[in-house]
């Protein structure tokens, strides 16, 4: 949050200096950054669930999934999270929220259909471990705030740089800054997500395996999830690090995308789980 506020304040200071309304821009940037930090903390999970069109379920809608989440939550000593289904054939899942008392777990329909009982238990235990370890708070805030920085950089590029392309040296300077921000923001965002997500995935794998006492289940689930080649329908870079596996499917392991992967290699995760068995 401090990093996010600092970046937004810098943007406000620069454009305030350029336009001659330094204090107005700075105050506006400060208000916006604080508002978005608070919003991401209290409402970020709703935005993330809405973005993938997740729908909440109750026990009557899907007793099989509901009871499985309920039983594992009791075993983990956690309050029951809200349960969501994403209508998507790609097998995947994520958890979100600010704490265990305000948490949610979302599973794709493809995951439920493709995995056996022990495999699905392994995935749910992994996501419950994210909740128990408070990874959900960190990753949710990062997803919203980093996404806002990227959106603001694009807005500044088009509204200032794009419109002032022929406006003399000042216009060229702004255009150059706009391009720089547009290029750097996704790289900074990806770097932050990589640093956070990779280590937390290993921890959640281990914690989930200890919860079910059957590491083989999660290892087998990861193999099936990885074997599915297609991406999720509504996958986006802003929240890719939340999912148990990269939502872009086979594209995630090719070219430059592989260098900026938010998840550790699945082969390495499976190897570590097999060693726990």
Q: What is the pLDDT of residues 174-184, one digit of tens each?
A: 666 656 665 66
Interval 146-172: pLDDT, tens:
767 666 666 666 655 444 444 555 556
> Left, alpha or beta for 53 (phi > 0: left; psi -120 to 50: alpha)?
left
Domain assignment present for residue 236? The answer is: yes
The larger pLDDT score, comparing residue 258 to residue 55, is at 55
What does the pLDDT look like over 94-124, one tens digit per residue? 999 999 999 999 999 999 999 999 999 999 9
Work out the percent of the chain whose per-residue pLDDT is above 90: 45
Report how far residue 153's alpha carbon sits from residue 186's, in angstroms, rounded to the nearest whole number.
9
How much is the average pLDDT of 72-84? 97
**CATH value at residue 267:** 3.30.2010.10
Q: Is the separation of the CB atoms in 251 and 231 below 8 Å? A: yes
Does the reported pTM lie above 0.85? no
Rg (CA), the chain: 21
Label the pairing between strands 55-56 and 93-99.
unpaired
Q: Kindly state the average pLDDT of the residues 7-33.
A: 75
Domain assignment present for residue 247? The answer is yes
- Indicate if the pLDDT at residue 252 is higher than 60: no
> How large is the average pLDDT for residues 63-72?
97
In a domain, 167, yes or no: no
Domain count for the chain, please give it.
1
Per the residue annotation, which of 119, 121, 127, 201 is the catalytic one?
127
Mean pLDDT over the full length of the chain? 82
Higher pLDDT, 12 or 248: 248
What proportion of the chain, given as a percentage, has pLDDT over 70? 73
Domain assignment of residue 23, yes or no:
no
What is the rounded CA–CA span in Å between residue 82 and residue 57?
8
Q: Mean pLDDT across the stretch 190-205?
A: 76
pLDDT, residue 35, reads 84
Q: Say if 257 falls within a structural domain.
A: yes
Of the pLDDT bands very low, low, confident and very high (cuts 50, 70, 90), residue 16 is: confident
In a domain, 98, yes or no: yes
User: Does 174 fall in a domain?
Assistant: no
Confidence label for 84 from pLDDT (cuts 50, 70 and 90): very high
Residue 186 lies in a domain: no
Higher model confidence: residue 149 or residue 229?
229
- For residue 63, pLDDT over 80 is answered with yes
- Alpha-carbon distance 244 to 90, whole Å? 12
Told to judge if 267 belongs to the known catalytic residues of this protein, a careful annotator would answer no
Residue 256 pLDDT: 47
14's tokens: 């620069």
User: What's the first-to-final CA gap in the chain, in angstroms?
Assistant: 39
The two tokens of residue 5 are: 């506020």
Maximum distance among all alpha carbons in the chain?
Answer: 67
Contacts of 221 (CB under 8 A, 6+ apart): 115, 119, 120, 122, 123
Structural domain boundaries enclosing 123: 49-137+193-276
Q: Between 70 and 229, whose confidence is greater?
A: 70
């Amino acid at each position: 949050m401090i990093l996010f506020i600092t970046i937004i304040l810098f943007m406000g200071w620069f454009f305030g200096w350029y336009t001659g309304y330094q204090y107005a821009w700075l105050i506006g940037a400060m208000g916006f950054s604080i508002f978005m930090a608070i919003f991401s903390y209290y409402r970020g999970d709703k935005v993330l669930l809405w973005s993938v069109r997740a729908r909440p379920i109750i026990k009557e809608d899907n007793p099989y999934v509901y009871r499985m989440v309920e039983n594992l939550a009791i075993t983990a000593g956690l309050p029951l999270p809200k349960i969501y289904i994403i209508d998507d054939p790609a097998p995947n899942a994520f958890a979100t929220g600010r704490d265990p008392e305000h948490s949610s777990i979302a599973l794709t329909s493809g995951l439920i259909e493709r995995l056996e009982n022990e495999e699905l238990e392994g995935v749910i235990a992994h996501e419950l471990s994210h909740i128990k370890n408070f990874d959900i708070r960190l990753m949710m805030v990062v997803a919203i705030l980093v996404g806002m920085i990227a959106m603001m950089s694009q807005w500044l590029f088009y509204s200032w740089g794009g419109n002032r392309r022929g406006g003399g040296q000042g216009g060229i300077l702004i255009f150059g800054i706009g391009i720089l921000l547009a290029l750097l923001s996704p790289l900074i965002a990806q770097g932050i997500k990589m640093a956070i997500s990779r280590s937390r995935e290993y921890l959640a794998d281990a914690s989930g395996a200890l919860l079910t006492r059957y590491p083989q289940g999660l290892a087998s689930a990861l193999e099936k999830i990885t074997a599915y080649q297609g991406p999720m329908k509504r996958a986006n870079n802003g929240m890719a690090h939340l999912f148990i596996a990269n939502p872009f499917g086979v594209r995630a392991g090719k070219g430059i995308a592989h260098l900026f992967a938010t998840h550790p290699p699945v082969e390495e995760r499976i190897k570590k789980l097999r060693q726990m068995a």
